[in-house]
């Protein structure tokens, strides 16, 4: 679980940094909103990908544990 928290922290930090960078960049409001929407979309895809990875990892671990238990009976 420690690795998952580190990965989530890194993704969160990158997202916050990207949003702050866009907000403080000298650009028109419409362009800034488009950039924020794009960054948000990219972040959403990254989070979904990470969630899928973690779900698969947990599912595989449950299957392995179940097989081990059934094999010991």
Instruction: Please state the domain extents for the chain.
Output: 2-72
Tokens of 19: 């949003």
Measured between alpha carbons, how far is 44 from 38 in angstroms, rounded to an integer?
10
Interatomic CA distance for residues 25 and 67, integer angstroms: 55
User: In the structure, what pLDDT confidence band is assigned to residue 11 with cuts at 50, 70 and 90?
Assistant: confident
Q: Would you state the pLDDT for residue 40?
A: 80
pLDDT tens, 12-63? 888 888 778 777 777 777 887 887 788 888 888 888 888 888 888 889 999 9
Q: State how far the alpha carbon of 56 is from the alpha carbons of 9, 10, 66, 67, 70, in Å.
A: 20, 20, 15, 16, 21
User: Which of 6, 11, 9 shows the shortest CA–CA distance to 49?
Assistant: 11
The token duo for 64 is 């392995």
- pLDDT range class, residue 1, cuts 50, 70, 90: low
């Amino acid at each position: 679980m420690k690795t998952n928290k580190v990965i989530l922290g890194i993704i969160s930090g990158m997202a916050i940094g990207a949003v702050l960078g866009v907000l403080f960049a000298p650009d028109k409001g419409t362009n800034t909103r488009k950039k924020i929407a794009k960054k948000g979309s990219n972040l959403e895809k990254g989070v979904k990908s990470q969630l899928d990875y973690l779900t698969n990892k947990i599912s595989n671990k449950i299957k392995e544990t179940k097989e081990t238990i059934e094999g010991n009976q």
